[in-house]
């Protein structure tokens, strides 16, 4: 039955897209229709590399398809790539770093409602869009879901190792594109549905659960939206919206800066007169503890939860970078939490880390007090022509930077205006943590150097004896312990007890009554 069309309007990107309103939670953009039971991808053939696809096997809940990849990199072509609820596709790959590029030549968007698993990295490219529907589960070592083409040259060099490459809307000649440059929008900001009840093509959406610990998860298209759960601890999550995207390893920009590990992304909107390229939003949960989360586009809306906590020598970072307007909505949480939980055993740790809302676990790593923690502080970067903060931005003892004169390679705009609404909070306040009483005491073997101020003791009773001193009491009369305080091991919670840095560079800063800067 043909759906009732609502009054609509065309969004003009070049006329100035400031932001786009996400529907209310109860009115979320409608996911795809339920696929027929047993729906699995339709294989076209192997384009390059070595591999094969086993015949599908019936299961109690659907069908299972196994892709066997024999080379480190392989390109598989598909007529369609849909997975129904209860069905599963598994990539059996030779290593955790193996890469499978899957080019999908379908006139419709790909819909994932079942499971996608892999022993390595899986890249899905469908010019007409990709939807990870409610209930879908992806567990891989790396995931790219894109409506932009991945160049064969970049893939051949290795996405994880290439230092500089671009994704564009230009596909190979044998593609069958039906992507569009113009999207018809309802008045509430949602896409108009086509006759099949599906949203307009050419975008990537997630309503499911995506996981790639230690790897990269990248959703990239002219419009990108996350309403599900994305987890890549010790890795990177990128939501990038544009007609073209340029990616570069951050270490090639500044190899000495350890605050960011992963890819730097720049995007361009389309050149068509009417184009909504560049709309990216998060209304779900993204977790990248000891890693990085990046959202970049013409308009960036963060209305959900993003967490990227750090360890004592491996920080977390969050980059939210808009070409025009960056909005951190009411109730949103953008934070780099400090580890406080330390489970008793590995089983308990494993159980906790599998949760979608897993907290940052204290990994037990420490740093001596005298060592400079500054390079390892977690960092939040906010950039855009206009930055509107309605929620919470929290980085205990770390760095929050809004605008600023960044190096030319770093895509950070200096805002015309930064607006903090009533109820918003921006904080780099230090942490309050319990410190074991035992840390007030230090045991050491007394050396000749320790007795340098009492030469009569150099050959006496104290020489080479094991001593325990109270560091709160100052120097004992017989030997010097001033250097011992700097040798005390400190956790990340202790290192972040001192407040961090808040850096704001903007032509105009408006802090409304009821907003908090801490």
The β-bridge partners of 509 are: 418
The residue ranges of every structural domain in the chain are 31-172, 213-433+498-518, 438-490
pLDDT at 150: 87
Residues 6 or more apart whose CB falls under 8 angstroms from that of 408 comprise none
The DSSP code for 154 is H
DSSP H or E segment with residue 100: strand 99-104
- CATH fold, domain 213-433+498-518, is Pectate Lyase C-like (2.160.20)
Cβ density class 466-479: b for 16+ within 10 Å, e for less: eeebeeeeeeeeeb
pLDDT at 406: 43
Greatest CA span in the chain, whole angstroms? 100
pLDDT at 200: 42
- Do residues 84 and 35 lie in contact, with contact meaning Cβ atoms separated by under 8 Å? yes
Residues 502 and 264: their CA atoms lie apart, in Å, by: 22
- Do residues 376 and 315 lie in contact, with contact meaning Cβ atoms separated by under 8 Å? yes
What contacts 24+ positions apart, CB below 8 Å, involve 440-448? 440/470, 440/471, 440/472, 441/468, 441/469, 441/470, 441/471, 442/468, 442/469, 442/471, 442/481, 442/484, 442/485, 442/487, 442/488, 443/467, 443/468, 444/469, 444/484, 446/479
Residue 90: count other Cβ atoms within 10 Å of its Cβ: 18
pLDDT at 309: 81
DSSP3 helix / strand / coil % (the chain, rounded to 5):
10, 40, 50
Task: Give the DSSP per-residue string, 313-349.
Answer: TB--EEEEEEEEEEEE-TT-EEE-PBP-B--SSHHHH
- pLDDT means per 10 residues in the chain (518 residues)? 32 34 42 88 97 96 98 97 98 96 95 98 95 97 93 79 56 33 35 35 91 94 95 94 81 63 77 60 94 93 92 79 93 82 48 48 52 65 93 90 60 79 90 60 63 57 63 59 58 59 88 92
Within this chain, domains 31-172 and 213-433+498-518 share the same CATH topology: yes
Cβ density class 403-424: b for 16+ within 10 Å, e for less: bbeeeeebbbbbbeebbbbeeb
pLDDT at 246: 80
pLDDT at 467: 64
pLDDT at 268: 78
**From residue 482, how far is each of 352, 432, 486 by CA, in Å?**
41, 25, 8
Residues 179 and 15: their CA atoms lie apart, in Å, by: 22
pLDDT at 202: 81
pLDDT at 450: 59
The DSSP code for 22 is P
pLDDT at 3: 36
Options 2.160.20.10, 2.40.400.10, 3.40.50.1980, 1.10.260.40; CATH of 31-172: 2.160.20.10
């Amino acid at each position: 039955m043909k759906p009732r069309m609502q009054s609509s309007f065309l969004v003009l990107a070049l006329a100035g897209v400031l932001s786009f309103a996400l529907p209310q939670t109860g009115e979320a953009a409608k996911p795809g229709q339920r696929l027929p039971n047993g729906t699995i991808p339709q294989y076209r053939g192997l384009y390059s590399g070595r591999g094969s696809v086993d015949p599908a096997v019936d299961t109690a809940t659907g069908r299972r398809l196994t892709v066997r990849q024999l080379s480190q990199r392989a390109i598989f072509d598909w007529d369609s790539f849909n997975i129904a609820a209860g069905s599963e596709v598994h990539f059996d790959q030779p290593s955790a770093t193996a890469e499978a590029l899957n080019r999908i030549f379908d006139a419709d968007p790909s819909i994932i409602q079942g499971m996608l698993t892999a022993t390595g990295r899986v890249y899905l490219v469908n010019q007409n869009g990709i939807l990870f529907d409610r209930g879908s589960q992806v567990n891989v070592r790396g995931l790219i879901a894109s409506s932009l083409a991945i160049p064969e040259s970049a893939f051949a060099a290795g996405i994880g190792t290439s230092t500089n490459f671009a994704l564009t809307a230009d596909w190979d000649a044998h593609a069958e594109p039906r992507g569009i440059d113009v999207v018809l929008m309802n008045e509430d900001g949602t896409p108009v549905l086509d006759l099949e009840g599906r949203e307009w093509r050419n975008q990537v959406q997630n309503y499911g659960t995506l996981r790639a610990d230690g790897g990269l998860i990248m959703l990239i298209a002219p419009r990108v939206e996350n309403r599900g759960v994305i987890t890549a601890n010790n890795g990177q999550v990128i939501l990038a919206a544009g007609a073209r995207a340029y990616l570069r390893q951050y270490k090639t920009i500044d190899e000495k800066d350890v605050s960011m590990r992963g890819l730097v992304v720049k995007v361009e909107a389309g050149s068509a007169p009417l184009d909504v390229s560049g709309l990216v939003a998060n209304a779900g949960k993204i977790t990248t503890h000891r890693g990085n989360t990046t959202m970049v586009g013409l308009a960036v809306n963060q209305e959900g939860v993003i967490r990227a906590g750090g360890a004592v020598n491996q920080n977390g970072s969050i980059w939210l970078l808009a070409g025009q307007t960056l909005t951190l909505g009411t109730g949103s949480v953008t934070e780099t939490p400090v580890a406080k939980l330390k489970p008793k055993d590995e089983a308990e740790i494993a159980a906790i880390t599998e949760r979608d809302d897993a907290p940052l676990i204290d990994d037990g790593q420490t740093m001596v007090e005298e060592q400079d923690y500054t390079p390892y502080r977690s960092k939040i970067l906010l950039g855009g022509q206009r930055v509107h903060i309605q929620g919470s931005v929290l980085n205990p003892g770390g760095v929050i930077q809004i605008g600023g004169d960044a190096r030319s390679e770093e895509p950070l705009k200096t805002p015309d205006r930064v607006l903090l609404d009533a109820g918003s909070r921006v904080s780099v306040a230090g942490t309050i943590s319990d410190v074991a009483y035992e840390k007030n005491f230090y045991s050491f073997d007394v050396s000749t150097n320790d007795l340098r101020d009492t030469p009569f003791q150099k050959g006496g009773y104290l020489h080479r004896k094991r001593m325990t001193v109270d560091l709160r009491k100052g120097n004992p009369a017989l030997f010097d312990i001033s250097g011992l305080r700097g040798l005390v091991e400190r956790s990340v919670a202790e290192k972040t007890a001192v407040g961090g840095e808040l850096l704001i560079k903007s032509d105009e800063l408006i802090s409304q009554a009821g907003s908090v800067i801490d």
